[in-house]
Amino acid sequence: MAISARVGYARVSSTDQHLDRQVAQFKKLGIEKVFTDKVSGKNTDRPGFQQMIEYVRDGDELYVCSMDRMARNLRDLLSITESLQKKGVSIHFLKENISLVPKGESSAMTKLLMAMMGAVAEFERSLILERQREGIEQAKLRNAYKGRVPINPEKIRKAKEMVDQGFSKVLVAKKLGIGRTSLYKYLNNSNK
């Protein structure tokens, strides 16, 4: 019989955000194997998430700081947890203090609570996006919203030149004071 593993999964939505808080929480629990992503949770096409899914096996325990780190909508959350449980993996959501045991043996109350909390998280996300859209519309009416300022074409030319010389994109972004995501976007657009 294989020895079960305690595994963590941490995610932030962008490369500018930090995983430190989530990883520190896992370290406090003695969890050494942690899979991470710095991408949106809008779907399950995330490298760290996919590695975690392939890694966990029957008898393992998966720890996630909160439900919204696992999935952004209720349908995905329920689908992911169900497939992990069928695989024999226990899932622990630390913030919500909810644990799901393998093979669907969780109590009816736990399942209901998880579905309700997942729905609330999805609802909160929708409200945030709605308020953001409303705020942008109001700012546009006041002529206060200009959107993001485009990067100077000279900086883009210099960035492309540095990348062609073999400098890493991370270093180029740092040297020129450009966000990595923006740099990738501009470089991809210039190659079209």
- Let me know: does 3 contact 33? Beta carbons within 8 Å: no
d(CA 186, CA 191): 9
> If you search the block for the tokens 């050494």, which residue do you land on?
32
- Nearest 5°: the CA angle 105, 110, 115 is 115
Is residue 99 annotated as part of the catalytic site, yes or no?
no
> If you search the block for the tokens 């010389």, which residue do you land on?
165
Residue 51 carries which side chain, given as an amino acid letter?
Q
| Tokens describing residue 137 | 């519309």
* Residue 165, Ramachandran bin (φ over 0: left; ψ between -120 and 50: alpha; else beta): alpha
Out of 13, 66, 99, 182, pick the active-site residue: 13
d(CA 89, CA 105): 11
C-alpha dihedral sign at 155, 161, 167, 170: positive
Which residues are marked as active site?
13
